[in-house]
Amino acid sequence: MAGTMQFDLVSPEKRLASMTVTEVMIPGAEGDLTAMEGHTPVIVGLRTGTLRVVNAEGVKSFVVTGGFAEVTGSSVSVLAERVIPFEEATGTVIDTILAEARSLAAAALPEDKDMAEKNVADALALHDAILKAH
């Protein structure tokens, strides 16, 4: 059986989760990663996507936008700009995230355009995944 580690998820407004988990699947800005006990310490930026945690009760998913995750060998701490439990992520909420991403892309400076367009693509993929799941 896989080892366990502490997982904490917070947004600027509140703490959303604190639990013992066996793995955390993180939507990293530079690529997705799965953290498990003993993972090499790392700090990664988050992209818009789905954060998943696995514990004894199953899989719990959250929609996140921006922020960062700190992984140590024994814990994962995530501070996200916005966190929505997956089951609460309605089409309206995801439409708002997509509209915000498009607005930021339209106003982006030339040097930030690629990153802004990637954020739109991530928001679109999340939009499609939410619609399929609900």
**Per residue, what are the HEC states of 18-46?**
EEEECEEEECECCCCEEEECCCCCEEEEE
pLDDT in tens, 57-82: 999 999 999 999 999 989 999 999 99
Average pLDDT over every residue of 98-125:
90
Q: Tell me what pLDDT residue 93 has.
A: 85
Per the CB < 8 A criterion, the answer to whether 17 and 60 are in contact is yes
Instruction: Examine the pLDDT at 9 and tell me if it is beyond 80.
Output: yes
Q: Tell me what pLDDT residue 131 has.
A: 77
pLDDT in tens, 39-57: 999 999 999 999 999 999 9
Per the CB < 8 A criterion, the answer to whether 16 and 83 are in contact is yes
* CA 82 – CA 93 distance, rounded (Å): 11
The residue ranges of every structural domain in the chain are: 5-86, 89-133
Domain 5-86 has CATH 2.60.15.10: yes
